[in-house]
Amino acid sequence: MNYSIKFIEEKRYIMITLAGEIDIQTIRTAIMEAGKVINEHQCNRIIGDFRETTLLLGTLDILSLYEFWIKTLKTNKVNPHEAKRAIYMNPDQKNMEKFRFFETISVNRNSRVKIFYDLDQAEEWICL
């Protein structure tokens, strides 16, 4: 397993930490597992820590993952337009363009997704 999911009680958000080479199946599995945590804690605020990852995804994979994410939110009775997702990464992150593409398609579809290079800033935004 190349990921971990935990609920941060004191700030009421979910942290998903991924590491290593990440393919579409790993991210889909992490999304499904995150859905359980979303449902359990009735929490729609998520920070994804991608600092230690290399994405093995193409453009169509990224589009597919966005749709899968929205479906998972709806399955767990979360309004996709109310959910917030912070992407926490390094400023010199490998595959930066893939993260930017995900952010762009998400925002263009009225989803609240934003990239951060500082965890404190990500937490501040996610907890607003």
pLDDT digits (tens, 9 = 90+) for 43-91: 999 999 999 998 899 989 999 999 998 888 888 788 888 889 999 999 9
Instruction: Tell me the CATH architecture of domain 3-126.
Output: 2-Layer Sandwich (3.30)
pLDDT band at 102 (very low <50, low <70, confident <90, very high): very high
Give the pLDDT band of residue 95 (cuts 50, 70, 90): confident
Distance (Å, whole) CA 29 – CA 5: 11
On whether the CB atoms of residues 97 and 91 are closer than 8 A, the answer is no
The whole-number pLDDT of residue 128 equals 83
Task: Using CA atoms of 128, 37, 14, 16 in order, give the dihedral in degrees to the nearest 10.
Answer: -140
pLDDT of 34 strictly over 80: yes
Q: Cβ(110)–Cβ(101) under 8 Å?
A: no
The domain spans of the chain are: 3-126
Identify the helix (H) or strand (E) that includes residue 25: helix 24-41
Please say if the pLDDT value at position 93 is more than 90: no
Q: Is the pLDDT of residue 1 over 80?
A: no
pTM for this model (two decimals):
0.89
Q: What gap in Å lies between CA 29 and CA 32, rounded to an integer? A: 5
Both tokens assigned to 12: 């009421």
